[in-house]
A and B are shown apart, each in its own frame.
Chain A
Amino acid sequence: MKLAYWMYAGPAHIGTLRIATSFKNVHAIMHAPLGDDYFNVMRSMLERERDFTPVTASVVDRKVLGRGSQDKVVTNIVRKDQEEAPDLIVLTPTCTSSILQEDLQNFVARAQEQSKADVLLADVNHYRYNEFTAADRTLTQIVSYYIEKLAGNLPARSEKPTANILGISTLGFHNHHDCRELKQLLADLGVEVNVVAPEGCSVHDIQKMPSAWFNVVPYRELGRGAAEYLQRQTGQPLIDITPMGILQTARFIRAVQQILNTQGARVEYEEYIRSQTLFVSQAAWFSRSIDCQNLQGKRAVVYGDLTHAAAMTRILAREMGVRVVWAGTFCKYDAEWFKAEVADLCDEVLISDDHAEVGDRIAAAEPAAIFGTQMERHIGKRLNIPCGVISSPIHIQNFPVGYRPFLGYEGTNQIADLVYNSFTLGMEDHLLEVFGGHDTKEVITKTMTAQSDLEWDEAATRELAKIPGFVRSKVKRNTEKFARESGRDKITLEVMYAAKEAAGA
C-alpha cells in the first residue's frame, strides 16, 4: 500500500477510453462498478463536448460479484450495437475486472457473433499500465486489428507526398490546436495529411493509413506503438521529433525533407525554415529583443510529461538563455529517454511522480518561474512563484477556446508569451513587495466599518467571516439595512438569517 494524495497519470482505463472516444463512431463499454464512468464527466466538462461521450458501463454490482457477469456484458455489447450502430465496440477492463479475472475475451467472442460492430477487448492490465502506456497500447491494438483485416492487401502509396499524424486525442494537452498547426505546417511543406488518428478518425480510415509516405508522431507518449507497427508492416518511416520550439521545428522539417527526398521527391525547405524562423514566428526576434535580455540567467524549473517537459527545457535553455535548475518528469517508465533528451540542458534531472517531492524540490531551488502541471501551479501559488502550465494534468482553463497550439511556428509565439508573462508577473510581484504592496485594501475595509453604527455579536461576526470575501460586504450591508429598518441595534445570527429571508423576496 502507498499513501497517496495526488497522481499525475490516471489509471489504465482512462487511456483506453481516451483512444476509443477520440475515434468517430467507436463505443467503449467499461466492465466497472457504478461511479467509474467519471471519464464522461471529464470529457463533457473539460472538452466542453457537445455530444454524449460514447462510453457506457456494464455495471459490476453485488450480483455480478456473486455469480459473475454471465450474460450481462454480452447483452450490454449487443444492446449498444443495436442502439448506436457503432463500427467498433471496445470492451474496457478496469481495476475491478482485473481482480475478478472473468474471461472477458470469451464475452467478446460471444458478443461478436451477435453484433454488426467489430468487438475488441482492450488488452490493458490495470496494475501494469497507466493512462499513457494504456492509451498507446490501445491505439496500436486498434490500428493493427484493422490493418490485419487487409490480409496483406495494402493500398498503394499515394502519388503525391502524404503523411499520417498519430497521437492526437481527446483530453490531450492542447491537442486540437496542435493538430491544426501541424496540418498547416505540412501543407506549407507540400505534404497532404492522409489520416489523423485517433481524433476524428473513422476505423475505416485506418485501412488507408499505409498509403501515406510517412507517419508523424508529435508526442512521445502516444502514437509510437502504432507508428512502429506500421513501420514493420508497411515500411513507412516515422518522424518522432516534437516540433515544439524553433530549433525542434526546424529539425522536424529537415526530417520531412530527408524522408521525401529518399522516396523520390525533390524538396528543399531551408529557405522556408529561414523565413519562418526570422519573420513569421516572432520567437527568434523575441529572444534577441531586450525584453528577453532580462530573462538571461533567470532560474526556472520544468516538470511535466515527457514531450512537454523535454521540449520546454530545450526552449528555455537554448532559445531564451534561461537557466533550468532542474527538469523533471513523472513518466518513470520512459526515464532513460528523458534523461538523454535534457542531459545537457539543465543542472539536474528529477524523475519522480510524488508531488510532495516535486514541491520540496521547487521550494529548495527557489526558481523565478515554474513550468509545470496544474499541481505545480498550486505549489507556485503557495510559494509565491509564478507558473506557466505546459503539461497535463490540467483543468478546464487549459482547454482554451482560442487558438493556442504549442507545436509549429505559431506554437513558438504562444510559448514566448507564456514564458514572458510568467517572468514579468514575477517581476511585478517583486516590485510590489519592494514598495509595500497594493495599499487600497485596508482603506476600503475601514470605510466599511466606520459607516456601521450597529453591533455584531460574536456568533454573527464569525458567521459573517465564513461568507466568501467577494459577497461578504454585500451580506453585511443587507443585514445592517434590515436591522435598521426593523429597529434592532444588535446583529445576532437570527437577525442575519431573517435578513437573508427578507432579501430573498
Chain B
Amino acid sequence: MIEIFRFISGALILIGAFLSLVAAFGVIRLPDVYTRNHAASKSATLGVMSILLGTFVHFFMEQDHFNSRIILGIVFIFITSPVAGHLISRAAYNSGVKLWEKSVQDDLEEAVWRRNNRVRQRDN
C-alpha cells in the first residue's frame, strides 16, 4: 500500500518538474513578451501545483500528517498566478511593448481605438 502511494507521489513530482522545465524552455525560446507570459504563467503553475500535490501525498502517507497548508498553497497558486499573468500582460500592452513582427492579428488595438473614438465623440 505504501509503495503504491510512494509511486503516485513520485510520479506527480516528476511530472511537475518536467512541466516546470518545459515552461522555462518556453520562456527562453518564444519570440515576444505575450507568448513568453503564456508559457510561464500556465505551465509553471500546473507544474508547481503537481509538485505540491505529490508533497502532500508523501507527507500524508509517510508521516500520517495531514498538512492543510499545502492544500491552501495549491488553491492560492491556482487562483493568483493567472491573475498575475493577466495583469502583467495588460501592463505590457498599455505601456507599448510591441507584438512579434510576424504576428498577423491584433484585435485589442482596434478595440482600444474604437473606445477612444467613442470617448472623443462623447466629450465633443
Q: Do A and B come from one complex?
A: no
B binding-site residues for A, Cβ under 8 Å: none
A binding-site residues for B, Cβ under 8 Å: none
